[in-house]
Structure 1
């Protein structure tokens, strides 16, 4: 189990770094669904890893990061549904 959680944490870190690199190189818009989902997924993986290893400051940071990501994804989905209704 610890190896699986460590792999999950490495994948989460990689996903967050990938999303940030794509944003920084202007290959992906920061207000797009793909970027927000990558951030949410990476933060979730790191939150699980941090909590498993009792790294509470990091786990809390990633919990907040997930909350922001969920809110951003929700707003994007709602905005898209409004556009479809018009």
Structure 2
């Protein structure tokens, strides 16, 4: 299950909060971002992966979730990134 979204993060939101939010899901959750023509992919449960993506407001990203609670995980990530 995947969905492409545009990020709208507030200054108060941190990647640590996103990481903590998704730890409760059994699904594997990945984020894909086009950086200068190359697709970068990171496991959202990895803080280092999130840091390397350098997420910014108005970035277009694809969230990919696989597993038993993929739908719920995708909704949680989307809600966080679009605040």
Same fold (TM over 0.5): no
So what's the TM-score if we normalise by structure 2? 0.30
Choose between structure 1 and 2 for higher RCO, CA contacts under 8 A separated by at least 6 residues.
2
So what's the TM-score if we normalise by structure 1? 0.29
